[in-house]
Amino acid sequence: MHNLWRLRGYLRPHATEFCWLLVAGLTATAAGLAVPLLVQRVVDGPLARREPAGLVQLGGLVLLLGLVEAVLIFVRRWTQTSSSVGMEAAIRADLYAHLQRLPASFHDRWQSGQLIARATGDLSMIRRFLSFGLLFLVLNLVTYLAVVVLLIRLHPPLGLLVAASAVPLFLISRRFARAYHIAARRMREQQGDVATLVEETAQGIRTARAFGRGPELAARFGAGARALHDTAVGKSRLLARTSALFDLVPNLTLGVVLVTGVAAAARGTLTVGELLAFVSLQLMLIWPVNSLGWIIANGQEAATAADRIQEVLDTPPAIRDRPHAVAPTRGEVRGRLRFERVGFGYPGSVTPVLRDVELTVEPGETLALVGATGSGKSTLLSLVPRLHEVGTGRITLDGHDLRDLRLAALRRLVGVAFEEPALFSMSVWENLTLGRPDADEDEVRAALTLAQADFAYDLPWGLATRVGEQGLSLSGGQRQRLALARSVLGRPAVLVLDDPLSALDVHTEALVEQALRRVLRDTTALLVAHRPSTVALADRVALLDRGRITAVGTHTELLATEPAYRALLRPEPTAAAVPAAGPTTAAVTPDGPTTAAVPAGPTTTTAAVTPEGPTVARTTTVTAAPP
């Protein structure tokens, strides 16, 4: 119960309400306990003496106590609802805020369904215990102790017998609590797994249908749902068996009390009124004992939920503001970005992704990153807005370590567009202004025009149109263009583009690139490129190979001097078929050799293919004589 106890801070804002609830509950319990004692007075007093007036008075008092108890129970439950929902909302808000502070590596490791289950079902479990289970636990314990004391006063031997029945109840409770905690934990984990299956199926429904994997996914979900069903049934059976035992103990005790009490009344050692009061008080223990199973189950589920919540809350944010961090404004930043011996490796990975990266991007310069798949290009870009933290070395902006800048300020200065754009289930306008909530209509229109995303105005409700989850109601190119518009709308000092034009057709790509050239003229930019047309946007190019920068230069320079660079931007050369007769001319260019067949005869033709840009090809001609 340790992790559940750690959540006591969320009770403090509602401490006054909880105290009033406790007072109301205890007062109602006292009123209920007073009724059997008044019944004793009625039976042994006016009823025994045949005094109608006293009988009416005591009967009226019993009725009044019953009304007071009913009113107090109503007030208690009315207040409970508002305070419990307030506690749940506060925990959920803190959990969500903490999830926002955790690094991307945390979210990469955790299943989203498990996080959703913690933020919904687990918090509901905690809310039910803090609002109902905890209060009833206190009230039932007080009721049990008070009744036992009154029973001992009425008849010590029978009262001690009832008190002794607490021993088997304690042993049953302890065994049940241990078993139920294990079952509750297993069930919560399985609920998270099922939620993950549902979410993944919903997001990947197109892929599942395209490959005809519906039956396999249904079987996978059925297996998870069946396991959850079996765990839930087993948990219910455990509760049912224990509840039966909780019923058995007080009923056996009541049977012994009735037989012994009647015998005592026959001997004259116990009055009829005392016997009635004793039995009535003992009957008041049936509800506290019967509810003990539910309270323990509710407490164990809440404890399990608290364990799962604290697993998230106890994960420290790996990326946070330093105590002396500053928050520069856009006007104070020139945009000189420097990587100094930067290294990075993902948690749990032995091989680092980046090693000793040395790179400088001058203010207003556009640098393209080119490399094979898995070379670390996207990882390098993610270090700039501190989505991941550098492992070794440092990255500076105008000479200031990025870790010395406040995260909120840094991410206002850095605009980002990913190859796989993330759009949220809200309006186009809200998606566009995610980083600039204060942007006006003219600024939004200019950003959309730059990204060739004017199609947004043609949507059913224009910019107020809500896009589907992950923006799947739009095409891949439309999502990319909206994400690009969002990144430039904030007028960032540094623009980070991770192959943002990969889903565009050639015509649209050319228009976007033409507009981007105007934006990049005054912005420091890092972009990942896989195509020569995207590389053409850059002033310089850096070649990344296995986590290291192996070459930096202009596109033309790297084409001429780096075979690996040529291989990345050009497909593998293929030799054309050579006729049986006729000379062959091979032209060796910076992009690799090309072979063409020429007619037979004394004339030799040289074919040369030059790369993009004003590059002079170096040509060597080899003539093969006809056979």
DSSP-assigned states of every residue in 69-85? HHHHHHHHHHHHHHHHH
540 confidence band (pLDDT: 50, 70, 90): very high
Please write the tens of the pLDDT for every residue from 96-134: 999 988 888 888 888 888 888 888 888 888 888 877 788
280 confidence band (pLDDT: 50, 70, 90): confident
**In Å, what is the CA distance from 475 to each residue of 420, 467, 503?**
12, 11, 9
210-226: average pLDDT:
86
Q: What is the pLDDT of residue 583?
A: 43
| 3-state helix, strand and coil shares in percent for the chain, rounded to the nearest 5 | 60, 10, 25
Alpha-carbon gap, residue 597 to 607, rounded angstroms: 10
Burial of residue 19, with CB atoms counted within 10 A of its CB: 0-12 exposed, 13-18 middle, 19 or more buried: exposed
Pairing of the two strands 366-371 and 524-528:
parallel
**In Å, what is the CA distance from 88 to each residue of 2, 20, 81, 613?**
18, 19, 11, 63
Least confident of 136-150, 242-256, 597-611: 597-611
444-453: average pLDDT:
90
pLDDT averaged over the chain? 81
The two tokens of residue 422 are 């993330």
Pairing of the two strands 548-553 and 400-401:
unpaired
Q: What is the pLDDT of residue 622?
A: 37
545-564: average pLDDT:
91
Alpha-carbon gap, residue 349 to 108, rounded angstroms: 13
Contact, 111 vs 196, CB < 8 A? yes
User: Hey, which bits of 430-498 come out as E strands?
Assistant: 494-498
**In Å, what is the CA distance from 406 to each residue of 246, 319, 327, 374, 441?**
58, 11, 5, 30, 29
616-623: which pairs have CB atoms within 8 A and are 24 or more residues apart?
617/587, 617/589, 617/590, 618/588, 618/589, 618/590, 619/587, 619/588, 619/589, 620/586, 620/587, 620/588, 621/585, 621/586, 621/587, 622/584, 622/585, 622/586, 623/583, 623/584, 623/585
**In Å, what is the CA distance from 428 to each residue of 415, 458, 461, 473?**
18, 12, 10, 12
610 confidence band (pLDDT: 50, 70, 90): very low
Q: What is the pLDDT of residue 592?
A: 42
User: Hey, which bits of 434-562 come out as E strands?
Assistant: 494-498, 524-528, 540-545, 548-553
Is there a common fold for 88-313 and 330-567?
A: no
Q: What is the pLDDT of residue 585?
A: 40
Residues above pLDDT 70, as percent of the chain: 87
Asked if pLDDT for residue 233 goes beyond 90, the answer is yes
> Under DSSP, is residue 240 helix (H, G, I), strand (E, B) or coil?
helix
585 vs 491, more confident: 491
553 confidence band (pLDDT: 50, 70, 90): very high
15 confidence band (pLDDT: 50, 70, 90): confident
Least confident of 45-54, 153-162, 362-371, 469-478: 45-54
Asked if pLDDT for residue 323 goes beyond 80, the answer is yes
Q: What is the pLDDT of residue 51?
A: 64
Alpha-carbon gap, residue 54 to 47, rounded angstroms: 8
Please give the CATH superfamily to which domain 88-313 belongs.
ABC transporter type 1, transmembrane domain (1.20.1560.10)
The two tokens of residue 57 are 């008075």
Q: What is the pLDDT of residue 47?
A: 64
Q: What is the pLDDT of residue 596?
A: 40
Residue 418 is which amino acid?
F
10-23: average pLDDT:
80
Report which secondary-structure segment, H or E, holds 557.
Answer: helix 555-561
Contact, 123 vs 305, CB < 8 A? yes
Residue 529 is which amino acid?
A
591 confidence band (pLDDT: 50, 70, 90): very low
Asked if pLDDT for residue 349 goes beyond 50, the answer is yes
Phi-psi region of 582 (alpha: psi -120 to 50; beta: other; left: phi over 0): left
Least confident of 9-23, 341-355, 486-500, 598-612: 598-612
Domain range annotation of the chain: 88-313, 330-567, 575-627
Residue 131's nearest CA partner among 315, 267, 7 is 7
* DSSP states of 563-596: HHHHHHHSPPP-PPPPPSSS-EEEEEETTEEEEE
Largest interatomic CA distance in the chain = 145
Alpha-carbon gap, residue 622 to 575, rounded angstroms: 14
234-254: average pLDDT:
88
Pick the CATH number of 330-567 from 3.40.1350.10, 3.40.50.300, 3.90.180.10, 3.30.565.10: 3.40.50.300
pTM for the full predicted model: 0.69
Q: How far is CA 2 from the centre of its chain?
A: 24
363 confidence band (pLDDT: 50, 70, 90): very high
Phi-psi region of 143 (alpha: psi -120 to 50; beta: other; left: phi over 0): alpha
Asked if pLDDT for residue 21 goes beyond 90, the answer is no
Instruction: Give 400's strand partners.
Output: 397
CA angle 173, 175, 179 (to 5 degrees): 115
The two tokens of residue 183 are 């079952």
Residues above pLDDT 90, as percent of the chain: 21
Please write the tens of the pLDDT for every residue from 248-266: 888 898 888 888 888 888 8
